[in-house]
Amino acid sequence: MNKVILKNLALSGLIIGSIFGVLGAIPYVGGFALFSILFLVAPVVMLLLIMAGKLDLTTPKDSIINGALIGFFSNITFSFAYSIVVALLHLTIKFTTNYVLTAMIINSPIWLLILIVLFIGVLTATTNAFTGFLTYYIINLIRDIYEKKHVDEEG
């Protein structure tokens, strides 16, 4: 895999993960942010990079690997940003959006938090690998329909 593509995937995943991590602490928006991290990050990042001309999906294997990398990186920064925001909200103004998560973040040992984040990172990588795989096939389906339509108009 090209190092430039890997850097673009990682950077995009890190930026989107941190944005959703901050938004995750907002009531009712947190559920959408978590759903987005679990399922929608890989297709969005892949489509943005394809439109910018920085990514080309040539095989299903590429789309699966790219989706997994995006999902893992975005989960790591989501968890880090969410933990910081929740801890700051709890320590400064005693506000919590989810009491169990806040208590776990504040009171658990750091090794346990890292283990949980890595476990959820693997889960997020798996779901985003699948949605990246679907993105590859949907892009090829749209490309085939577009080519077939334009061949019919010319011929």
Question: What is the tens place of the pLDDT at every residue in 107-147?
Answer: 889 999 999 999 999 999 999 999 999 999 999 898 888 88
25 in Cβ contact with 86 (< 8 Å): yes
Give the CA angle between residues 110, 66, 47 to the nearest 5°. Answer: 115
* Residue of 48, 43, 90 whose CA lies nearest to 63: 43
The reported pTM is 0.86
